[in-house]
Structure 1
Amino acid sequence: MTRITGLPPYDPQNIFARILRGEIPCKRVHEDEFALAFHDINPQTPVHVLVIPKGAYVSHADFSAHASDAEVAGFWRAVGRVARDLGLESAGYRILSNMGEDGGQEVPHFHVHIFGGRRVGRMVPAPQG
């Protein structure tokens, strides 16, 4: 598999890889063959869930370039199912994925955050001036 230039290699010791292997516990919300969803240990909103693919992907760029069609579809279907199962559809929610250092990615395993349970405001502050 050809890696995308500029991405770090996948670290199988990252915390999400260890959660997937069952070495670190999590509060599961959903699990299927493509994804695992669990509550964030430091929630930023009343509902803050992480959804991670079961494959070893560093970022969205890596995932979108190398995951199979079934993995991509299964992962995004899991994201939608989690939001529905958590009752977030009517009031709304935010899906966020950080990529790389400038994007604020803290764990080098592709993941999305689902934020809900209150109004989350602007994603990026408006420019000043």
Structure 2
Amino acid sequence: MTCLFCDIAAGATPADVVLADDDFVAFLDIRPLFKGHALLVPRQHLVTLPDLPAGLRDGFLERAQRLATAMLDALGAQGSFVAMNNTVSQSVPHLHCHVVPRTKGDGLKGFFWPRTKYADAAESADYASRLASSLS
């Protein structure tokens, strides 16, 4: 079986990548809660957080922190929402951390996750470029 996130990490499936290094890749979610919503994944195929090896834990959290900061710096968000599902509600069985830009009164309540869309590929590429610039 193929894994969508492994294919994105390998460059075999296109995505709006905002961060890429030897161990991790972050890219825009194609069904974002809010524009700029990014997913951070390890390049190594792992399914859940308990599967993450100790040698990758600090790097995974550090990149999630950087993404959370980029939501403010690059997108002008007031904060961020950072979350992971393990098995239940995990639409792709590959460990991924959601980092979502937030603003007061944005309508996100509890675990109701409304989805939005980018107007077109140019708009998503603009968001990706802004985040990537902030992360470099």
Fold equivalence (TM over 0.5): yes
What percent identity do the matched residue pairs reach? 26
Please report the TM-score for the alignment, with normalisation by the length of structure 2.
0.70
- Determine if contact 2:72/2:79 at 8 Å carries over to the other structure: no
Query: What amino acid is aligned across from residue 83 of structure 1 in structure 2?
Result: A
Q: Select 1:53's aligned residue among 32, 38, 42.
A: 42
Answer yes or no: is the 8 Å Cα contact 1:96–1:112 preserved in 2.
Answer: yes
Q: Which whole-Å CA distance do the structure 2 matches of 1:46 and 1:90 have between them?
A: 10
Structure index of larger Rg: 1
Q: TM-score, normalised by structure 1?
A: 0.73
Partner of 1:95: 82
Tell me the CA shift for residue 121 of structure 1: 2.4
Q: Which amino acid aligns with 2:94?
A: H
Shift in Å, 1:20:
1.1
For structure 2, which runs of at least 5 residues remain unmatched after alignment? 113-136
Would you say the 8 A contact 2:81–2:102 is kept in 1?
Answer: no
Is the aligned partner of 1:34 residue 2:20? no
Stretches (4+) displaced over 6 A: none
> Are 1:78 and 2:81 an aligned pair?
no
Q: Is the CA contact 2:72–2:101 (under 8 Å) kept in the aligned structure 1?
A: no
Q: Contact (CA 8 Å) 1:46, 1:117: kept in 2 or not?
A: no
8 A contact 1:30–1:38 mirrored in 2: yes
Distance 1:58 1:106 in 2: 11
Number of matched pairs: 107
Number of the residue aligned with 1:24? 13
Q: Of the candidates 98, 108, 111, which is equivalent to residue 123 of structure 1?
A: 111
The residue matched to 2:57 in structure 1 has which SS?
A: helix
Structure 1 position 122, deviation (Å): 1.9
Q: Cα RMSD between the aligned structures?
A: 2.0
Do the aligned residues in 2 keep the contact of 1:39 with 1:50 (CA within 8 Å)? yes
- Unaligned runs of 5+ residues in structure 1 are 1-10, 125-129
DSSP-derived class of the 2:72 partner: coil
